[in-house]
Amino acid sequence: MMAVHEFGHIVGAAITGGTVAKVTLHPLAISQTDVSPNPHPLVVVWLGPIVGSLLPFALTRAVPRRCELAWTVTRFFAGFCLIANGAYIGLGTSGRIGDCDIMLKNGTPPWVMFAFGTAAIIAGLYCWHRLGSLADYLAHPELVSSQLAYLAGLSLLALLLIVSVL
């Protein structure tokens, strides 16, 4: 999720003539993209959550429902990205952390941030809603395919390896 969000900042820098100085990605910290010079900080800062929300959602449109495993994984990922970006921006006005501080300092009204956050969270919950209920999965564990279980286990292993290297 953080990589897609930071990719949005990189796109923003590229289209506004900024230069990416450094990208920080770590699963235990807030990611960050430093742009210097940054001629249009508002464009760069907003493209992080916009691309970080819309790119995963667009991916769900590309995967046909008949490819059940890929459809489920992309839906879950898109929902997670939408909810995470929405909560970060929508609730971030009070904490003024990271991107939210930059948005506020460059003139974004708090209500715009709250509206973005609300819309993104609702869209993320919609993506998750179409996956089925957690109660169904808990009552009927056979609904989780062995492929999905292996994919989840390999993802966890990859995450642990990345964290141990960083």
23/17 Cα distance (integer angstroms):
17
At residue 138, the pLDDT reads 76
> Hey, is 24 helix, strand or coil?
strand
Residues comprising the chain, all counted:
166
At residue 27, the pLDDT reads 73
Percent of the chain whose pLDDT exceeds 70: 95
Q: Give this prediction's pTM.
A: 0.82
Task: Pick out the chain residues at pLDDT < 50.
Answer: 166
